[in-house]
Amino acid sequence: MSDAATAPLRVHRLTKLPEAFWNGVRETPWRYDLFQLLRRIDAQGGERYPLGRAPLPKFEPLRIGQQPSMSFAPSTLADVRLREGSGLHEVSILSFGLFGPNGPLPVHMTEYARERIHHHQDSSLSAFADLFHHRLALLFYRAWADAQPTVSLDRADNKRFEGYLASLIGMGQPGQMDKGSLSAHARFTHAGHLTRHGRDPEGLEKILCSYFKASVRLVSNVPQWMPLSTREQAQLGAGRRMPRMGESAFLGVAVRDVQHKFRIEIGPLSAEEYSRFLPGEAWVTELRDWVRQYAGVEFEWETRVILREDAVQGTALGSAGRLGYNTWLGFQPQPVPRGDLVYRAER
């Protein structure tokens, strides 16, 4: 059994639906669709179980029945009323049920049930059929609701599609989605990029452009110096570990590499957007988590933030600017974007 199946049930409790809502439904039931009404009750009714999953009818806030009628249904709902001496609402429907011109029972059964109600004030047959109508209608609604991604967001204890998407992007285990600064739905939005085995620069660019609403460019093959350990350095008199020229001998303490580092260039940005990408800000943490999510931790990378030319400011005594970050010494005769700031978000 999975951890999700053994986890305690989280109940989404809300206040009861206001009486004004029920008054509107009772006065003009034809303005509401059955599934629309049931979804509203399911999401905001504050009930313990979703409609269609309660173990007993006593846990459900309404009773669904069909009004026997020979006419073709002009609307889904026929009538909604509050049961006397109870908090239950009785919902009468027209389209879904055993009776009616489209029902599975012979037409004379609908005529008989209608005659008993209107001429003899006897609703026994209709009430008996409503035992099945209530359960079948709720099961039909639950089958529809379980197939709708948006409906699964109505309650905190019914996030089926979140589990599906989390499994697709490799984060289906409990607790994985809660790590980092990125929300679960931010990752789900870009599940198409995160499910691919091949991670190309274009995918990361599109994710960052969409998330930060800014122009992003990824520069590949950025040169860097990789330090060599003492064991890897060429040394005279090393015995068996003596390096061979052209094979394992390196001159110096580092080697130049252009395969394992890239640069993310963001901008040009306004002054407000630029300040959010300065080291230590929350957006930098989110940028770091996006790179880790997409490319892992095996690559070195750095960030270059570009400030728009009309937002470039000089330094003044007593100002709140940060020299080298968002203010600079000197005067620019020709305004140009400033992209001097390059930093490593992983540090």
Model confidence pLDDT, tens digit, residues 147-161: 888 888 888 887 888
- Percent of the chain past pLDDT 70, that is, above it, reads 88
According to DSSP, residue 174 is labeled T
- pLDDT tens digits along 45-97: 888 899 999 999 889 999 999 999 888 888 889 999 988 888 889 999 988 88
Q: Which of 151, 170, 171, 169 is nearest to 161 (CA)?
A: 151
Give the integer Cα–Cα distance in Å for 138 and 142. Answer: 6
Which range is least confidently modeled, 16-25, 206-215, 301-310?
Answer: 16-25
pTM: 0.70
Sequence-distant (6+) residues with CB within 8 A of 273 are 214, 267
